[in-house]
Amino acid sequence: MTSIEERTEDLDLPYNVFAKACPSRGTLEHVTGRWGGLTLGALHEGSLRFNELRRRVDGVSEKMLSQTLHALERDGLVHREAQPTNPPRVDYELTPLGHEVAERLLSLIHCVEGRMDDVLAARERYDGTRGAL
């Protein structure tokens, strides 16, 4: 069996997320964090205004959504378009890179959703043998 490092080297990629100083770590954190993943998933359905997005991503605060959108925009995954109207209208949508990342992320989300009965059963078995945490 090969190590993760060997597999990464085999791909001959210029970045290695397992290296402490690699800039890909920050992007991975933005994408896989709770709010980043949910935001990308919500925007995969189409362009949304800030408050529409906030309603779609149930539980996110205005501050966290704003920070998440800024990080995803900086990483090139989300495009922010401000309309010169009164009051101002701001729409958010995925970039082509954002669509690619969201597709992969949604595959994981659908896998987890589809296997939740197994996860819940595993939790119950674990809690039964170790005591509820």
- Digit-by-digit pLDDT tens for the chain (133 residues) are 455 555 545 566 788 998 889 999 999 999 999 999 999 999 999 999 999 999 999 999 999 999 999 999 999 999 999 988 888 889 999 999 999 999 999 999 999 999 999 999 999 999 999 875 5
Domain membership flag for residue 73:
yes
Domain membership flag for residue 106:
yes
Q: In terms of residue numbers, what domain contains 37?
A: 33-130
Domain membership flag for residue 119:
yes
Domain membership flag for residue 123:
yes
CB atoms within 10 A of CB 39: 31
CATH number of the domain where residue 37 is located: 1.10.10.10
Token look-up 């969201």 returns: 102
Count the domains in the chain: 1
Work out the end-to-end distance of the chain between its first and last CA atoms, rounded to an integer number of angstroms. 34
Residues written for the chain: 133
Please choose, from the candidates 34, 114, 41, 36, the residue with its C-alpha nearest in 3D space to the C-alpha of residue 71: 36
What is the rounded distance in angstroms from the CA atom of residue 27 to the CA atom of residue 74?
10
Domain membership flag for residue 122:
yes
pTM of the model: 0.83
